Structure formats: C-alpha cells, structure tokens
Structure 1
Amino acid sequence: MFLALLVGAGAGGGAIVFRWLIRVFTLALSGHEDYAGLGPVPNAHVPGLGRWFVLLAPVVAGLLYGPLVHFFAREARGHGVPEVMFAVARRGGRIAPQVAAVKALASALCIGGGGSVGREGPIVQIGSALGSTIGRLVKVAESRMKVLVACGAAGGIAATFNAPLAGVFFAMELILRDFNTQSFGMVVIASVTAGVIGRAALGDEAFLKLPPFLVDHVAQYLLFALLGLLAGVVGVLFSRVLYLIEDVCDKWWRGPEWLRPAVGGILLGIVLLVLPEMYGVGYPVLGKSIAGHYAIGFLIVLLIGKMVATSLTIGIGGSGGVFAPSLFIGAMLGSAYGELAHQLMPGIAGQVGTYGLIGMGAVFAGAARAPITAVIIMFELTGEYTIILPLMAAIVLATGISHFLTGDTIYTLKLRRRGVDLDVPEHQGLLKSVTAAEVMEPLGEPLDRDTALLEAAGLLARAPHGQLPVVDAAGNYLGVVTARAAADALSDGEHDLVPVGGIVEQSESVRAGSNLEASLDALDSAAGTAIPVLDESGSRVLGWLSHQRVLATLSAAHQPAGSS
C-alpha cells in the first residue's frame, strides 16, 4: 500500500511536469499555448514567417528529440502503451529508469513542435517507468512489480486527465489485462493519490466544457447504434492506416534513425500548412466540432487529416499517444454523422453534439477494444451522465464490430508485428515465432560418404550427439551415421574400410525455417538426442537441433532482463 501511494504520488507529479513541458515547448515553437483551432496565424516569436513557420517547427523539434530518443531510450519512440504492455507481459514489469525522463522530454517536444499525437501514451509510459524503478529499488517480487507498473499507468492517466476512475480501468483492462481484488485495490490507491495531486495543481474541472445533452426521442437509440457500428469500422481503419504509413516510412528511410524525425518533420509541416488544425493534440478543434462549428465536408477532411497526421508523426519516429487522436477522429465522425442525421430527420435526430461525444468513445473502443475504459473515460472527461445509455450501447457495438473485423487492437498490433502475441502464453508464443535456424547448434565437419568406417568411428566417438551427417562429393545431404550403427558394422572386424555411405540412415530432420513448435514434434519422433537442420531445399545440412537447445532458449527468454 505504501509503495502504491508512493508510485501514485510520483505519477501525479510526473503528469504535472509533463503537461508543463508541453505548454512550454508549444509556446516556444508555435508562439501560442495551443495553436490548434486558431487557424493559419503566425508565430508570435517570428511574425515575419507568417503561417509558414509550421514547416520549421516539426523539423526543429525533431532535431532535438530524435537524438534524445535514439541514444538514450529507444523504447520512448512511438505511442508508449504497447511497450508498457510488453514489459508487463514479457519482462516482469521491468522498464529502464531513464525512459520516464526521455519520454517526457521527447513527447513534449514532439507535441509542442506540431506532432499530431496525444499525451496519454507518454504519461502511461512515464508513470509505468516510475513504478518499475521504485519496484526495482526495493527489490519487490515480479508479481508486485507488474502491479506497481499498473499503478504508475493509472496514476498518470488520473492526474493528466482528471480521471481517476478511467486511470484504474485503463491500467486493469489494458496493462494488467486481469481483474483481481488485490491488484485492483493497489491501483485504486495509486490513482486516487495521483488524482488528488493533479486536482490540487491543475484544478477540478471536467476536461471538456460542454452544454448539457439529452436523448429526447426513442428513435435516436437506433441512430446511436448505427453510429457505434460505423465507429468500430473507423477505429479499425485508423489502426490500419497508422501501421501502413509507418511501414512506408520504414521502407523509404535510409538515413540514421536519430535524423529521421527532423527530415520527416518536413512532410508533417506540409500537412500542418494545409490543415493547421492538426497541430498538436487538437482539443480546441475537438470542442468546436462538438459545438457544431464545422460543416460536414470539413469534418470529414479533419477526420482524414488526423489519421494521416498522427500516422505520419509516429511513422517518422515521433513520440506520443494515439488515444487523443482516436477521440478526435471519433468527434469528427460523430459530429458529421449528427449533422447529416439532423438534415435528414430534423424532428428526430436531436442535438449534433451528442453524436460527437458518442463517436469519441466508440472510435476509441473500436481501436483499443477497451469498452469499460471507454465508457468511464468519456464520462469523466465530459461530466455528461445524461447520455450514458446510448454511449454504452454504441461502445459495445463498436467493440463487437472491431472483434469481427480483426484479431488485434491498435496497441496489440504493434506487438504482433514484432512476433509477440499477448493472448498466447509466453513459451507458446516463443515456440511459434522462433525458427530452428535461430537456435540450432553448430554442425561441425560432416562425413564424406566415402569415409572409411574405421576413420569415422573415431570421429563419431567425439561427436556430441553420437551421430554425424553424411554428404556426397557435391556437399548434398544424404542422411546420418550413428555411433551404434558404426560399432555394429565394425564388430566382426571385416568392415574397417567399408565406406560410411553403406550404413547411412534417414533420420527425422527439420527445415531451417520451421518454428520450434513443429520442430519439437520431429524431435520427439527421433531416435537420437538431436536432429539435423536442413536448408529450405533439403539438400544442405546446416546444424543440429536438440531438446537441450530448445529448453535453453525458452529459459533464456523467460529470464528477466538485467538478472544473472
């Protein structure tokens, strides 16, 4: 409990510092506390550049945070939450202590320089790194370490968004992926502590100031349900666009990684020149869309623009979250949908802003597939309880359609692309992702088929697995010869000079690209302690695969980083 309090206090303080850094860098690089929503106005520091300063702001920011991330904490690149999920699921909750400071500076610079990303991913990673660092200092057990990481994530969300309940459920649903009483209690303590500190420093108002919304016609529930289904599709689309653009950036970039954010910042600057509403997190624009200040066509442009701008920011090596962009995209979708419904059915549709709010939660649910978090965080961010029923219905439908369309979320897809499946036990995932070629033992010198048995006997006596591969004059694999077969042939004293080609056996073998799960089946069927690993054509022998080698690989993967 004491450690949970300590982590919560640290996360709360970290959230305050992080928000201050964003404000400082945004003011320094744009000349305004929040440039989004102001339109194409000049930077107060360099008015002579006019609106063209947005071409330079991302480049300057990239020159600062690119080397910082590359040389001090590469895990600080990207949106942060997948890295925390991986640390909890696969590394015993261990996160490098420098990640907190690097992530705070890099994300604040990225957002301040126009990066179209959110602050929830960074604050989750900052709080989680603090929790992990405290856990390592006091040498807690691995199970407790994971809870402290979740406490840090919850505290960061609670303090930065004034949303302590959302912090708790975000940590339980996405980070720990488990609801047990003890963990829940500790995460609540951390979230409350961080929330109190955040409210003392940042105030106690709802994140978005909105007029009251009402559902005044029962037919609106059908419209909300349809919006939920559409939002689920858009949430999945956002995930796909994000990683598609990241792949394109990876494919075309050939320079040093530390320079990538600055060079890529030129492309981001062009997007900001066309759509200055994409600068930074964009909450002022989000608020205006819900208030009905934009036409349907422009709302669609903003929706597409946010997908592209966020994906480009991440693709060029930026640092920031995808939660706020998903809310932004949802608000544009919902507001456009509400405007259209109001034009087609003015007597039934009701207030346009209601659809914008529901779209926010539903798109996030479709992208992240965290329905409990989506419901709670929308309530806490807006203070709107009057639309809780249609909000819940739309979020559940968005989650369902997301399940139907894809097996991954916007967070887990990043890990699956690295070969990590959080839904599969660690050892099982490793068996499916690691190939025989990656863990095979050295082959040694194979026997030529014309080698005399007596000569081969001495080599077989020293062979680690009591067998050696046999090849022809061209080096093609023929099979194996075992020490037992050679001993039987030599026992009568008449076969000393007989070539080993005469006693070659066709043993079980695997191809180099076979995963360990398939290779274990072949090992179990083999008579010896190891089997040959062949190239994909089956003509060349490359090495040996043994049970000991597989077990050693699994043990090394399970060993926590930094332990002996």
Structure 2
Amino acid sequence: MTKTAKIKKNHPYIIFRKLVLVSILIGLLSGFLGILLKKVTEYYEQIFFERANTNTLFYLLFPFIGLSLIYFLRQYLFKKKENKGIKEVFESTESKTKNLPNYKIPSHFINGFLTVIFGGSTGIEISTVVAAATIGSVAQQKKNIFRQYKTELICAGVAAGVTALFGSPIAGLLFSYEVISKKISQAFILTTGIAVGIVYALLLLINEPPLFAINISTWNFRAIPYFILLGILGGLNAVYLTKMVLFIKSQFVKINTHFYKIILGSIILSASLILFPQLYGEGYHSIKTIINEPNQNLLTISIGLSLLAILILKPIVTSITLASGGDGGVFAPSLFIGAFLGLLTALSLNHFFNSDVIVLNFMVLGMAAVLSASINAPFTALFLTLGLTDNYILFIPVLIVCFVSKYTAKMIFPHTVYTFIPNTSK
C-alpha cells in the first residue's frame, strides 16, 4: 500500500482525532471564560448593589457610568463596532466566509460585565454565548480540515458557555441544537458532547453549587390546570418582552447622537432602579431573596401591585439597557420575569381561590415558561431550569408549561428577538 493510500485510509481517523482535540480545547477555553465571567460579575455586582442600597446617589450614577464606559471602549478599543448579540452567531453559521472576529471575545466579556455590575437590567448569558462561539469560530479558522465543521465547532463553544453558566450540559447541548444549529450530525454530537463534558468536569472540580437552592419535594396532578394557566401567562409575558425589546430598539435607532441615547437610557434606568431595586442587574439576587423569605405566601395589596409593576417594568428597562448600548440579551430577563410571574400567579391563586399551590414550584415553572417562549426552545428551557435547582422532581410540570408557553407565544407573535428581521424598506 502506497503512502498516499494509507493517508486516504486513515483520513477519517485523522479527522476524528483532530476534532476530539479541538473540542477539548474549545471546552476548556469556553468553560474558563464562562466560569470567570460568572464569578467576577456576581462578586462585583453584589458590591455595587449593596453600595447603591446604602446611597441612592449611586443608583443615579451607576447606569450612566456603565453605559459611558461601554461606549468609549467600543469607540477606542473595539473598532467602533457595536455588538449585535446572538445574531452575530447566526450570521457566521449561515455564511461560509463570514467569521466571528477575535475581538468579540474581550468585547462581549468586558461589555457584558460592565453592563450588569453597573445596574443594566440584563444578564451575561448572551455575552458569554457569543464570546464562547467566537472561540469555536477562531478554532475552525486555524486548519483547513476544520472549515467544513464550522457550525459544529461554533456550537461546541456555545454549548460549553451555557453549561458553564447554568451547570447543565444537557441544556448546553439543546440550546446549541434548538437555537443555533437546528440540525444534528455525528460531528455535532462529538464536538458539543466533548466540550460540555469538559466544562461539567470543571464545575464538579470546583464544586459549583446550583444557582438557586430551592427545596422541591412534590407536586400534585390536580395542579395541572394551573400549570397550563401559568404556561399561557408565560407565553403572553414572553411576547410582551420580545415586542418591547424590538419596539424600544427601533425608537432608539432614530436618535442619531449616541450620547443622547446614554443620557435617556440612564435616566429611565436610574428612576426604575430607585423605585424597584429588584431590577438591578440580572436580578438573580432578588429571586434568591424571595426564596429565603419566610413570609412569601402572604399576598397584600402592596405586594401584589409591586409584583405587577415589576413584571411591567422589567421588559422596559431591559430594552432600554440594550437600546442605549448595554451588552446582553433576554436570557436572564426571561428567568427573572418568569420567577416573579410564577410568584404572583401562585399567591393570587392561593389568596383568591384557596388553590393551595406550592409557591416555589410556580416560581421554577414560571422561569421555564417565559424562557421557553422567549427563545423558542422548550427543551433547553426544561433542562436549564431544572439544572438551576439541581432537582428534577418538576420534570413533567416544567415540560407542560414549556410547550404551552411556546405555542401560546407563537400563535400571537411568531418571532423571537433572535429571529425577527426588521422591515427597512419603508
């Protein structure tokens, strides 16, 4: 057998070996990036939030400082190019020639971090996803042999980033499939499987706890009609969030001077944070506070109005944050809105109808419902939400609300913020 013939015979094995090695590298780099961004953001967000709570002046200053820093970094460090969020990933996977440039890694890392710690009402999830996708994109550019696996390697980075943030490798795999790739191949399973496995091993190594320590022990089949109701409400809230983001972004585009966008966005964001500090950052701190609140089962007029106001305001301040230059997406806002929606729904059912539903269960179900409808990915929402609590007792109820909310939202508005393409022909 000639040397050329041997090479041809061993070619599939050579490709397999190289894909394994590059997937390990993508998993390690994306995992470190995601874990680092999560840790430093949580640490500094807590410090800044506590400082703002002791002095209202910081609620006035922080949003302006954060948005201004992002603007100047974008102007003088990141080639004057704005981050488009996850649409950048779609543009790359749909094009054979367009790749995610290297600077997207530090750009999304830094801008996502600054947005959240200074009170921007969004999260670091999409920043992490795009930065991790860029790692996969850069990797496929290094060797010609990887060019045909561009989408798979980008998905490996995305899956690793989601796993690093939420501790659920299944959610990472499903997000890459449902939102990014929309198709499965042997290379997809290999690359994403290895990447999320590496990240999950890292999380086990550092003994990373679940994001929300919720003690869930049971649920009742008699509550299924209430689950369906919550799914419908989750779909409605997701549509409201999506349309608000699209509307406010379209209005801010009409403002030609970016500094005016920063001023307007800062004023609205600061006023909202003063009224409702729960809206600060991604809002996970507020969810944890409610979980640990012993009097969470009591519904009063003031509590009900406050929860309703938060549900109305959160999509607005999230949209303002993004439209005025902040970095992020609808991932964290969806979880936040869902938790508060579940809380309000459960308290209302118990107070007015003596339904005796479990409030904490409804908070988890609400998170899954709104996320599923917002990103049009029910299986991702299912495993991601269950992974947040490291508890799978609510598997069937979460599955129900995810599909009810998704199809409720699609019947009203078939697009998400990821898939909507504005009409520029007018």
Flag whether TM exceeds 0.5 (same fold): yes
Secondary structure of the 1:117 match is coil
Residue 54 of structure 1 corresponds to: 59
Deviation at 1:85, TM superposition (A): 2.0
Distance 2:287 2:281 in 1: 12
1:202-227 residue CA offsets vs partner (Å, 9 max, x unmatched): x33221101224213x3210110111
Amino acid across the alignment from 1:106 = N
1:77 aligns with 2:83: yes
**1:10-409 residue pairs with structure 2 within 5 A?**
10-23=29-42, 25-26=44-45, 30=48, 32=50, 41-42=53-54, 50-71=55-76, 72=78, 77-78=83-84, 80-90=85-95, 94-201=99-206, 203-216=207-220, 218-251=221-254, 253-255=255-257, 257=258, 260-261=261-262, 264-290=265-291, 292=296, 295-346=303-354, 348-409=355-416
Indicate conservation of the 8 Å contact 1:76/1:102, yes or no.
no
Amino acid across the alignment from 1:354 = N
1:111-133 residue CA offsets vs partner (Å, 9 max, x unmatched): 11110111110110110011111
Higher strand content, 1 or 2: 1
Distance 1:390 1:307 in 2: 25
Secondary structure of the 1:41 match is helix
Indicate conservation of the 8 Å contact 1:66/1:260, yes or no.
no
Amino acid across the alignment from 1:361 = A
**1:411-422 residue pairs with structure 2 within 5 A?**
411-413=418-420, 416-417=421-422
Point out where structure 1 has 5 or more consecutive residues left out of the alignment.
43-49, 420-432, 434-512, 514-564
Deviation at 1:262, TM superposition (A): 5.7
Distance 1:20 1:418 in 2: 39
Deviation at 1:261, TM superposition (A): 3.5
1:374-413 residue CA offsets vs partner (Å, 9 max, x unmatched): 1111111112211111111111111111221122122112
Deviation at 1:13, TM superposition (A): 1.2
Amino acid across the alignment from 1:266 = I
> Judging changes above 3 Å, is the alpha-carbon distance between structure 1 residues 142 and 73 closer, same or farther for their aligned structure 2 residues?
farther
- For this pair of structures, how many residues does the alignment match? 399
Point out where structure 2 has 5 or more consecutive residues left out of the alignment.
1-19
Deviation at 1:259, TM superposition (A): 7.2
Q: 1:3 aligns with which of 19, 22, 25?
A: 22
Indicate conservation of the 8 Å contact 1:93/1:146, yes or no.
no
Deviation at 1:15, TM superposition (A): 1.2
Distance 1:244 1:212 in 2: 38
Using the aligned pairs only, state the percent identity.
Answer: 24
Give me the TM-score of the superposition, normalised by structure 2: 0.87
> Judging changes above 3 Å, is the alpha-carbon distance between structure 1 residues 94 and 209 closer, same or farther for their aligned structure 2 residues?
same
Amino acid across the alignment from 2:271 = I
Distance 1:339 1:7 in 2: 44
Distance 1:73 1:189 in 2: 34
Indicate conservation of the 8 Å contact 2:141/2:147, yes or no.
no
Deviation at 1:350, TM superposition (A): 2.1
Deviation at 1:163, TM superposition (A): 1.8
Amino acid across the alignment from 2:45 = T
Indicate conservation of the 8 Å contact 1:62/1:262, yes or no.
no
Between stretches 315-324 and 17-26, larger displacement belongs to 17-26
Deviation at 1:232, TM superposition (A): 0.9
Q: If you compute each CA radius of gyration, which structure gives the higher value, 1 or 2?
A: 1
Give me the TM-score of the superposition, normalised by structure 1: 0.67
Which protein has greater RCO, CA pairs closer than 8 Å, 6+ apart? 2
Distance 1:73 1:162 in 2: 34
Secondary structure of the 1:111 match is helix
**1:482-561 residue pairs with structure 2 within 5 A?**
none
Amino acid across the alignment from 2:237 = V
Distance 1:176 1:368 in 2: 14
Secondary structure of the 1:309 match is helix
Distance 1:285 1:344 in 2: 25
Distance 1:213 1:189 in 2: 33
Deviation at 1:76, TM superposition (A): 5.2
Deviation at 1:138, TM superposition (A): 2.5
